[in-house]
Structure 1
Amino acid sequence: MLVRLQSAIGRDDLIEQMVLLPEPQKPLSPEAQTVNLIVAYDTSTNSHTALDLAFCIAHQTRLATNAQVNVQAVYVVENHDRNQVTDVFSFTKPLPNLECPVSAVSRSEIPVLTQSKFRGMTQCLPEKTIAPLQAADKIIWQARSLAEEWQGSFKSHLRFGCVAIELKKVVELEAASILFLGCKSVNHSIFQTLGSNFPCAILGIPNCIDE
């Protein structure tokens, strides 16, 4: 996938710049018909770039293969006060032509947070809890807006808790092929918290993005 991206944008050094953690060794198996690309999204410029790169790779992969490529954005609200919000929520904001894959999130026994449930829930929550939910909803909406520009398959997750733990949960739940991070080095704090024993390859953003 990175080779196709290199060809598309005229670079030959993206692999060495972007691969923060290579794909783990797995037994040989038939090539999957569905590829899931997960992006850790927090509306920062770098995470926006990571999401854009994921959509570009998805587009190039769809053109070259028959595989279905899905891009998924994950935003994690760090739960510092466990007395405020102790449950972890997961919800989807599919594009108009997609169905809400409720069954996909129910496997982890996590309640689904739809827009109607969101409105109903916020009516009985204290203001200090509603504010981060509203802010998170805006961030997910920004990711969805970018997805509409690419016109590709898109799914979003909103979670509460430890960023590293929740990212790993989503990667495992969705059987992700790649996790994209908005960082340029293995020295970045978010990469350090994920550790080397991760279930999929981890890609960052290339240094040449500033050129």
Structure 2
Amino acid sequence: MAKVAECDERSSRRRLPPGERRQQIVDGAVAFFAEVGLEGNTRDLAKRLGVTQSLLFNYFATKDDLIEAVYEQVYLNRLSPDWPTRLTDRSVSLRQRLLDFYTEYSTLIFQYEWMRIFMFSGLYGAQLNRRYLKHLGDVILRPLLGEIEFAARSDETPVMEDIWNLHGGIVYIGIRQHIYRMPCPDDPSEAISRAVDRFLLSFGIAPGD
């Protein structure tokens, strides 16, 4: 009877359409690498998913290909394509644009998988986090710098490092929670608001500007 159940289970797994099977593998890889790091091997991943290692390689020729799919799902797919447009929409106050962006962004990245894979990528020597940060800088933060420069009312000229400092301070809330396991606010919006207000005031930008 147990053998029949096992055969039925294997048959059910084989009947998954290719697209669903691929997504199942990627979802499992995200959870697996977040837990054990990018050095985790595909043999253990296959065992956890209840499939053969050869099946994994039917969908991903190499482990690096699988990690690339993880990168796309965890990082690139969480960047909303309309953020650059909304961040540069001067019909909305700069403060509100920043608050809207970081409220949405923090909701997407203050998660176990995102934070831990980002950390493990750096330790593993992978290019994932460096590629992501370059993409983020080019697509989101550099246009934002232009908006800060436009709105600044102080003698101090904002530079890219200032934007990274604001960004890093906000992201650190999630790092404290998921990497260091330290107490963090259930709702980070108040901390984000204070960080944004301090940042804008340092360049003489009033809340309504």
TM-score by shorter chain over 0.5: no
Q: Give the TM-score band, short-chain normalised.
A: under 0.3
> TM-score of the superposition, structure 2-length normalised?
0.28
Bigger Rg, structure 1 or 2? 2
Indicate the structure with greater strand content: 1
The structure showing larger relative contact order (alpha-carbon pairs under 8 Å, at least 6 residues apart) is: 1
> TM-score of the superposition, structure 1-length normalised?
0.27
